[in-house]
Structure 1
Amino acid sequence: MNVRRSAAVLAAVAVFGSATAPAAFADDKSPSPSAALPSGLYGKTDPKFDGVFRQSYALLAQHTEGVEPAAKAVDWLTGQQCASGGFAPFRADAAKPCDSKTTVDSNSTAAAVQALAALGGQDKTVDKSVQWLKSVQNKDGGWGYNPGMPSDANSTGIVIGALVAAGENPASAKSKGGKSAYDALPKLAMDCGKDGGAFGLADAKSGKLSPNADATAAGVLGSLGRGLVVAPAKKAASGAPECAKPDTTAQAASNGTGYLLDTLGKTEDHLMSAMPGATDQPDVGNTADAVVALAAAGQQEQAEKSAKWLAKNSAAWAKQSGPAAYAQLVFAANAAGMDPRDFGGADLVKQLNAQGPAPQSAADSASASKSDEKKDDDGGVSVWWIIGVGMVAGIGIGFLYSGNRKKKQL
């Protein structure tokens, strides 16, 4: 099957002048790593670029569905934290202290915060990570993937989700320049007209923003102070919003919402993606992110339409892609008011649980009914983007690929 490639790969193409993806992004299923994986880790593929991220997504999705993860799965995640409070994508030897060669990043850290804050009992770990995130905030109030990189909508969005999950007010988290994330996000939004009010993805060479659906979903969520876990909208928005100058976070979120509605309306309720020179293909993961963003914005009708498309078209993608993909679908199903245990006939919770150590609770059985309790609304952003950025950063490209999605499976 064709699986979407990340913006990081697109950036790599821009740098190296080739449309050939790195081996890690090949269309066929990537092999499992030769070394034995930790027993508490979710997924069977090489965790070098996404171990913490996929673990965090899996644990948060399980918690959302009333499943108590295995203790060793939680212990593996907390054990990945550096003394500074930051998380790297993966540390093979967590007993070895982090050093200057350990590449911690905002996205892995923020994802871990959201998961651990939801699970509870991890206050010290969460607080330490929050302080680290604040310490690497850019002068403009936003965050880049790694400390020192320019702010981007995806990183800023997921950090906002982490702050909210930890009980912090993102507006009160100010940089040394006196700016908050809510000052940064409107600067990452694009004008109306040809750009449609989208949040932008930075070009690898020039840094110029281009409209990007996943950056838009992340920007909308961040601007609304929301993230990975969003309940269905209690009050539906009245029609599509009108685009205007994005001089506030509220207007930037409104513009981004309109962009997503317009884009989905042109492509039968799902998003598309393509590598340069390749044919457009359905983008399952970005569509899942858009569902969550639209639900947060009160656009429940389109969120439901796109979630129904996902229910019919996501099974093969999720099976190939692994735990984070199942988690994304759980988040989307909940946001659309659908049952993750009967999503197009699939039990996403059971499938997710099978990706790692058996949970502690019995709530994961195939016959378990979906909880009637409302799911928490706490903050977040996409998974695939971050893996791709980590991949490119790992081969020494020293600038930000602000965008989304890695085609590498989890």
Structure 2
Amino acid sequence: MYVRRSAAALAAVTVIGTAGATSAIAVDHTPSASPSVALPAGLYGTADPTYDGVWRQSLALIAQSRMDVQPAVKAIDWLAGQQCADGAFAAFRADPAKACDAKTMVDTNSTAAAVQGLAAVGGHEKETGKAVTWLKSAQNKDGGWGYTPGGASDANSTSVVIGALNAVGEDPAGVRKDGKSPYDALLKLALPCADGGAFAYQPDKKGKLAANADATAAAVVGTLGTGMLATKAGDKKDVACADASDLTAEQASANGAAYLTKAVEKDGYLKSALAGAEDQPDYGNTADAVVALAARAGTQAAQKPVRWLERNAAQWAAQSGPAAYAQLILAADAAGADPRDFGGTDLVKQLNAQGPAPRTAATATESEKPSQEKEDDDNGVSLWWIIGVGLVAGIGIGFLLSGRNKGKRP
């Protein structure tokens, strides 16, 4: 579902939401962007990680796990090592050995994405538990979250936190502040059908709501109560906008999907929100829209935008790096396309090449095992033995990968 960075996040970068998330100013994540810091060995991508290191790493781990690829240990350990003692994550910490302090710019988007990334690879319940506890402490009185603790709630941040809660098995409806749940916050950002049924990112200074395609893609998935890791393609159904005096999360999700359907109807893509670039395609937000449409209305609803991406997104992904490849993998998988042959590109192979080589069960040595796996072995239980037993027991039962499974996200 989800997924890029929140508008506030991008604002911090160059001046974007989750679930796929840019809405304002683009950030240069191309390989040619000169990093201002040394690139860690376990990090995906070659562009400067200052503003998106944790985000792109998390998306890479989620996408690999969804494709049944075991990420490299050093990649997993790098992400886990970015966590502050209180459970929060910043966008990037150049020196993880240095304790976080009041100057460390932690945020909800990086933290929620990291929860989903670590939940995807498993064995990091301590880290994800601390992160979720921190996220709960940052919840606003309206039930939502802003990009930074204490910031006004926005659709993208609230939706990516919903994804984190879902990833650790918590019901988002039960996570409340002053009696308000995340769904209450999202419903306050839902526009009536006269305005297309979209979601706003957040109110402007005058309290007015404006339709935002990126925020809508995020909120469609958020109101379904899921996220990047667990979103599956929904049943095939028509979506239509319908106003109601007591709007439910389910209907708000359908309204948002109706808005996205109309937005991609003509050209197959969402347009950039950048000033002066009205007709310029926004590849990342289009990928997020694919996930949202598939989740809410089934794979058929996402065919036009996913086919457009299949024809046109290869160069964008090559220039943008690991997060872009991950978004396309999630979108392709959500819409029933083949991520390993997406317009002639093997997205999984390309993503794997962005970082340390993935492991396989056959080649993982003792020294390559993550710390949690070693601990399990020290306790007399081989994790690989457990996995093997599980696989044998599952033969003939059928198994859907967690995530949008043939209908999952960006």
TM-score (norm 1): 0.81
Deviations 1:89-137 (A, max 9, x none): 0000100000000111110000010111121100100100010011110
Deviations 1:52-79 (A, max 9, x none): 0000000110111111111111010000
Distance 1:10 1:56 in 2: 17
Note closer, same or farther for the CA distance 1:274–1:378 as it changes in structure 2 (3 Å cut).
closer
Kept in 2: contact 1:116–1:126 (CA 8 A)? yes
Note closer, same or farther for the CA distance 1:357–1:27 as it changes in structure 2 (3 Å cut).
closer
Distance 2:5 2:38 in 1: 27
The Cα shift of 1:268 comes to 2.0
The answer for the alignment partner of 1:376 in structure 2 is 402
The Cα shift of 1:338 comes to 1.2
Distance 1:122 1:335 in 2: 26
The answer for the alignment partner of 1:164 in structure 2 is 166
SS of the equivalent of 1:324 reads helix
Opposite residue 375 of structure 1, the aligned amino acid is L
The Cα shift of 1:244 comes to 1.1
The Cα shift of 1:319 comes to 0.5
Kept in 1: contact 2:232–2:403 (CA 8 A)? no
Deviations 1:241-284 (A, max 9, x none): 2321372211211111111111111x322111142233421111
Alignment partner of 1:315 is 2:314: yes
The Cα shift of 1:229 comes to 4.0
Q: How many residues align?
A: 360
Distance 1:107 1:35 in 2: 22
The answer for the alignment partner of 2:263 in structure 1 is 263
Distance 1:46 1:300 in 2: 35
The answer for the alignment partner of 2:200 in structure 1 is 200
Distance 1:201 1:247 in 2: 18
Note closer, same or farther for the CA distance 1:78–1:254 as it changes in structure 2 (3 Å cut).
same
The Cα shift of 1:363 comes to 10
The Cα shift of 1:315 comes to 0.3
The answer for the alignment partner of 1:329 in structure 2 is 328
**Structure 2: unaligned runs, 5 residues or longer:** 16-23, 364-397
Alignment partner of 1:213 is 2:239: no
The answer for the alignment partner of 1:131 in structure 2 is 133
The Cα shift of 1:374 comes to 2.1
**Structure 1: unaligned runs, 5 residues or longer:** 16-20, 365-371, 384-410
Kept in 2: contact 1:269–1:302 (CA 8 A)? no
Note closer, same or farther for the CA distance 1:236–1:230 as it changes in structure 2 (3 Å cut).
farther
Deviations 1:18-63 (A, max 9, x none): xxx98x8469865221542100001101111000000000011011
The answer for the alignment partner of 1:181 in structure 2 is 182
Q: In percent, how many aligned pairs have the same letter?
A: 60
The answer for the alignment partner of 2:249 in structure 1 is 249
The answer for the alignment partner of 1:285 in structure 2 is 284
Opposite residue 152 of structure 2, the aligned amino acid is P
Distance 1:167 1:28 in 2: 35
TM-score (norm 2): 0.81
Opposite residue 225 of structure 2, the aligned amino acid is G
Deviations 1:186-223 (A, max 9, x none): 00111221x21100024665453210111001111010
Opposite residue 240 of structure 2, the aligned amino acid is P
Opposite residue 68 of structure 1, the aligned amino acid is Q
The answer for the alignment partner of 1:191 in structure 2 is 192
User: Which structure has the higher relative contact order (CA within 8 Å, separation 6+)?
Assistant: 1
Kept in 1: contact 2:167–2:230 (CA 8 A)? no
Kept in 2: contact 1:106–1:159 (CA 8 A)? yes
Q: Which moved more, 1:279-288 or 1:25-34?
A: 25-34
Q: Which moved more, 1:322-331 or 1:252-261?
A: 252-261
Kept in 1: contact 2:30–2:47 (CA 8 A)? no
Kept in 2: contact 1:217–1:293 (CA 8 A)? yes
The Cα shift of 1:295 comes to 1.1
The answer for the alignment partner of 1:387 in structure 2 is none
CA RMSD of aligned residues (A): 2.8
Kept in 1: contact 2:70–2:360 (CA 8 A)? yes
Kept in 2: contact 1:303–1:336 (CA 8 A)? yes
Q: Which moved more, 1:183-192 or 1:87-96?
A: 183-192
Opposite residue 127 of structure 1, the aligned amino acid is G
Distance 1:301 1:40 in 2: 38
